[in-house]
Amino acid sequence: MSTKPANAGSDHQESAVVAESGAGLYEQDIAIGKHRLKGDEPESVGGGDAGPSPYAYLLAALGSCTSMTLRMYANRKGWPLKHVEVRLSHRKVHAEDCETCETKQGFVDRIERIIAIEGDLDEDQRTRLMEIADKCPVHRTLKSEVWIETKRA
């Protein structure tokens, strides 16, 4: 059995359908395969807070992918990884405050990811898992050039 993520290949395609629910100004019904979710904006910006915001879903995608990638890698190596927890936050920061960013004007998105790893792992294993975190498919997507093609239905 392969430990390669199902969506890692170029022949796999994910899809989602998102539509206004009609129940609130920004409330969305989200269908991803057999899963049904809600999306909304917080009350502070005029939403009804009926579900996570789009950026919260983005953080959840990165966090779940990171955790799954670490689990797959540790299992493949036979390492005693007991538990992974990924805490994330997102905010816009002034580009001029980002020392490593190419953009120097306006704002850039800053995602902070804190990874807690439990298990009887040595320091080299822990260091390697932190390196592997940056190789999760969603992380790679966010750091690469993304082409979004928009068409009218």
DSSP letters, 71-132, are: HHHHHHHT--EEEEEEEEEEEEEEGGG-TT-S--SSEEEEEEEEEEEEES--HHHHHHHHHH
135 and 73 inside one domain: yes
Centroid of chain to Cα 23: 27
Domain boundaries, position 99: 53-147
Domain total in the chain:
2
Instruction: Note the pLDDT of residue 105.
Output: 67
* Average confidence score pLDDT of the chain: 90
Contacts of 122 (CB under 8 A, 6+ apart): none
CA distance 14 to 16: 7
Asked if the model's pLDDT at residue 110 lies above 80, the reply is yes
Q: Structure pTM?
A: 0.85
Q: Are residues 68 and 41 in the same domain?
A: no
pLDDT in tens, 19-76: 999 999 999 999 999 999 999 999 999 999 999 999 999 999 999 999 999 999 999 9
User: Looking at the domain assignment, is residue 83 inside a domain?
Assistant: yes
